[in-house]
Structure formats: C-alpha cells, structure tokens
Amino acid sequence: MGQTKFKEVYFVSSNSNKYREIVPILSHHGIISRFVKISLKEIQSESIYQIAKAKSASAFEYLQKTVIIEDDGFYISSLKGFPGQYSSFVYKTLGNQGLLKLMENETDRKAYFISVIAYNDGLALKTFTGKTEGTLSRSATNGGWGFDPIFVPKHTSKTYGELSQLNRKSVFSHRYKSIEKFSKWYIRILLDETH
C-alpha cells in the first residue's frame, strides 16, 4: 500500500484541555495536528454554528493554513438553554458552584452539551456536530475541567469529571463525537485527492 501523505491540520484555541482531548482521536485516524494557542475573537450570536464558523475564518486568516476550531455549549433545559453559547464566560464568572446554587431548588435537571468542530482551508468551511444529553448533578465531583464535574451523561451515574479520571470520558463525550465525524470525513477527502 502506498504511503498517503496526510496534510497537517492546525487546532486553534486558547484552551489546551480541548486539544488534549482531541489529539488522540486525530492520531488514531492518522491525522497530524498542531496546536496553536491563541484567543480568537468571538462574535455575539445566538447560534453556536455561526460563532464556530466565524472563529474558523479568523483562525484561517491568522495562520493561512488548514485549521479546525471547536466551540461548545452547555445547555440546561430549565434555564431555557442557559448558559449555552456563553458557557465559557459563565464558567469564568459563576463557576460550577454558582451554577449549582442557581439550580439548587430545581427538579428538572436535564442538560446537554453540544460540540461544533469547524474546518476551514480557505476554500471550504464545514462543520461537524456532537451532542451528549444528560443531567446536572447535585454537587461537583473531582476530575476534568470546566463543567465536567457537574454534568452526568446519559447511561452512566458518573460525571464527566469522574469519567475523565477513569479515562472513560470519550465514551460519552460530545467533543469525541464531533471530532470523530470530522476525522472520518477528512481522511475520506484526503484519500480521494490521492486517487
């Protein structure tokens, strides 16, 4: 079998935790990736897709190389989807304890995470989505980062934080789902280019 030369993709983010989660998946598919740590300007939008697309455009403009970015949101049903696309800001200002306090008398604890990977090579702009449903826990656990200690995905009684400590977060992860979809698509287009 001839050696296929895979193009590098640059993962652009200010959050190295995200890169740590996606790099094993990319590597598993034979995709070479580089991490570029910069803060991308975030547009104000109700749509996580529009935010991801705009971030990928500014990442491409900055690097002039094939980029992927990831934007995600944490949506709580009884708060009408809050914090949603403002998750990063809410985490920095309220934190897990603040969010749990806001929800302490709430019985409807349904919540979900959405991850959007946006690919941009200057010509094509494509998005890939992963979603994980679950519930907001009553208290924060150890492990993970961001809202990991307070989110319990469906089909388990453990939070993302606890699952991270067991190296099992990817089994349920919204980010795993979106980067897996991207990886399969990317490998397919690269193989098409070589035939």
Q: What is the CA radius of gyration of the chain?
A: 17
Q: Measure CA of the first residue to CA of the last residue in the chain; give whole Å.
A: 13
- According to the model, what pLDDT value does residue 45 have? 86
Higher pLDDT, 146 or 190: 146
Give percent of the chain with pLDDT exceeding 70: 95
Q: Span 78-97, mean pLDDT?
A: 94
d(CA 26, CA 149): 25
- According to the model, what pLDDT value does residue 195 have? 52
Q: Which of 71, 72, 108, 148 is catalytic?
A: 71
- 71 is known as an active-site residue: yes
- According to the model, what pLDDT value does residue 2 have? 38
Structural domains of the chain in order of their starting residue, each with its CATH number: 9-194 (3.90.950.10)
In the predicted structure, residue 150 carries a pLDDT above the cut 80:
yes
Give percent of the chain with pLDDT exceeding 90: 87
d(CA 5, CA 8): 9
Q: Span 26-35, mean pLDDT?
A: 94
Q: Span 24-41, mean pLDDT?
A: 93
Mean pLDDT score of the chain: 93
Q: How confident is the model at residue 1 (pLDDT cuts 50, 70, 90)?
A: very low
Phi-psi region of 28 (alpha: psi -120 to 50; beta: other; left: phi over 0): alpha
